[in-house]
């Protein structure tokens, strides 16, 4: 099975009023890092600045460890991580939602 087979994207939509892309994914079957990569690859070419790979902005293994539900917990906690990459602000949650919107003044690129 390749990584594309493992990604279960439930919805991808765009709100032109807020310039926000929203994606739902199944956190039980899809790692948050793969959901981010899938969402970024789904955007139109002009939605992103050219530049670094995702790995330059955030450690995908750490993202997965923080947001993937633990089998030890009866109820998964609600957590999210937000970071700026290639001119967009990305917010991904442990509950299977992801938002991508333009970075605003004051937002800055972050690194691992």
Q: Is residue 43 part of a domain?
A: yes
Structural domain containing residue 47? 3-102
Q: Is residue 7 part of a domain?
A: yes
Minimal CA–CA distance to 61: which of 24, 32, 95?
Answer: 32
Span 6-43, pLDDT tens digits = 556 667 899 999 999 999 998 888 899 999 988 988 88
For the chain, what is the domain count?
1
Q: Is residue 75 part of a domain?
A: yes
User: Please, what is the Cα angle at 97 between 92 and 99, to 5 degrees?
Assistant: 60
The answer to pTM > 0.75 is yes
User: Measured between alpha carbons, how far is 100 from 48 in angstroms, rounded to an integer?
Assistant: 10
Kindly compute the dihedral angle of the four CA atoms of residues 28, 69, 43, 85, in this order, to the nearest 10 degrees.
-160
Token pair for 76: 């998964």
Yes or no: say if 34 and 23 are a contact pair by the CB < 8 Å rule: no
Q: Is residue 108 part of a domain?
A: no
């Amino acid at each position: 099975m390749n990584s594309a087979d493992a990604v279960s994207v439930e919805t991808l939509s765009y709100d032109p009023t807020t310039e926000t892309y929203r994606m739902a994914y199944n956190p039980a079957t899809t790692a948050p890092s793969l959901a981010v990569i899938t969402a970024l690859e789904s955007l139109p070419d002009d939605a992103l600045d050219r530049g670094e790979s995702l790995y330059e902005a955030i450690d995908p293994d750490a993202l997965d460890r923080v947001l993937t539900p633990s089998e030890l917990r009866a109820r998964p906690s609600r957590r999210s991580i937000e970071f700026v990459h290639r001119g967009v602000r990305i917010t991904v949650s442990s509950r299977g939602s992801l938002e991508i919107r333009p970075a605003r003044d004051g937002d800055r690129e972050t690194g691992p």
